[in-house]
Amino acid sequence: MTLILCDVGPRDGLQNEPETLAPSVRAELVNKLAAAGLPRIEAVSFVRDDRVPQMAGAEEVVAGIDRRDGIQYAGLVLNEQGFERLRASGLDRVNVTLGATETFNQRNGNASLAEATARVERILVEADRPTTATISVAFGCPFEGQVDPAVVAELAGKLRADELVLADTIGVATPLAVRSLVERVNALEKPVGFHGHNTRNTGYANALAALEGGATVLDASIGGLGGCPYAPRVTGNIATEDLVYLLEGEGVETGVDLEALIDVSRWLEGMLGRTLEGQVYRAGAPIVSA
């Protein structure tokens, strides 16, 4: 099975940045990522504009996307109203999310784990297009600490999503744990993905470990966009171009044009007016010697 790289920059990335970009600029970002060959892009989230101003105008973003064949455009939804908006927008995929622990769901979504699971199930039942369920804090929780892999695997088994993504939301995982949990969830016989953060510099090693464990989907964010709300001084998502550089070097085909991706990060740097977290776009692609 081929690897699917999902760029979550336009959604998870920008949602966790202080700046708010206009919908037209966010649509342009999605189009640039598609042109660079990203097979999947998380473009928007359908949430209330007053709650998450960075994601305001989701419909406007979608309207500005020049849809390309063969590319999956996904959106995050938190409830049935969000799903109705996604359906009306015509996006290809639905992403739903819940935390692996009781306290994370309480603090993050004002719901118990059981309520969050039921909420996600309602959307999954209603969804008439491919679904991904992302389990946040699957390796560690800012409130409960280490998370029992057996609990995560059991939760994963309950979710009737087409695909399961395990998220190291606070960037505490190390490769052995990632590989082991991916292998465990892989036993459910549906595609498993990994969403890595580089908070403690283990994000890229973890992505490789996820692949070894059988993951077929990897999330990353252009330029490393997206901070970590629980550790505000550090980086969040792993950078897509850094991951592509690593994977291609390891002989894993991504289908992504690294030079084009680097250009996207440089463009984004201009848009945001500051240096991004990604390292490969700053170093540049290596000079190929004869």
Catalytic residues: 228
The answer to whether the beta carbons of residues 78 and 47 sit under 8 Å apart is: yes
Strand partners, 99: 136
- The tokens of 67 are what? 């849809």
To the nearest whole angstrom, how small is the minimum distance from the Cβ of residue 288 to Mg ion? 32
To the nearest whole angstrom, how small is the minimum distance from the Cβ of residue 138 to Mg ion? 12
Stretch in the footprint of Mg ion (CB under 5 A) among 7-15, 116-124, 137-145, 263-271: 7-15
Cα–Cα distance between 54 and 101 in angstroms, integer?
A: 26
Please select the residue that binds Mg ion; options are 101, 198, 235, 237, rule is CB under 5 A.
237
**Residue with the two structure tokens 């007053």:** 50
Stretch in the footprint of Mg ion (CB under 5 A) among 6-14, 67-75, 181-189, 273-281: 6-14
Positive/negative CA dihedral, 44, 45, 47, 50? negative
Stretch in the footprint of Mg ion (CB under 5 A) among 10-18, 19-27, 88-96, 170-178: 10-18
To the nearest whole angstrom, how small is the minimum distance from the Cβ of residue 236 to Mg ion? 6
For Mg ion, the closer CB: 132 or 237: 237
Binding mask 125-144 for Mg ion (x = CB under 5 A): --------------------
How many residues touch Mg ion under the rule CB under 5 A: the total is: 2
For Mg ion, the closer CB: 57 or 226: 226
Positive/negative CA dihedral, 58, 7, 150, 205? negative
Please select the residue that binds Mg ion; options are 9, 11, 12, 208, rule is CB under 5 A.
12
For Mg ion, the closer CB: 12 or 163: 12
DSSP letters for 179-199? HHHHHHHHTTSS-EEEE-B-T
To the nearest whole angstrom, how small is the minimum distance from the Cβ of residue 134 to Mg ion? 9
Cα–Cα distance between 151 and 38 in angstroms, integer?
A: 32
Query: What phi and psi, each to the nearest 5 degrees, are found at residue 230?
Result: -95, -5
Cα–Cα distance between 148 and 69 in angstroms, integer?
A: 40
Which residues form the interface with Mg ion (CB under 5 A)?
12, 237
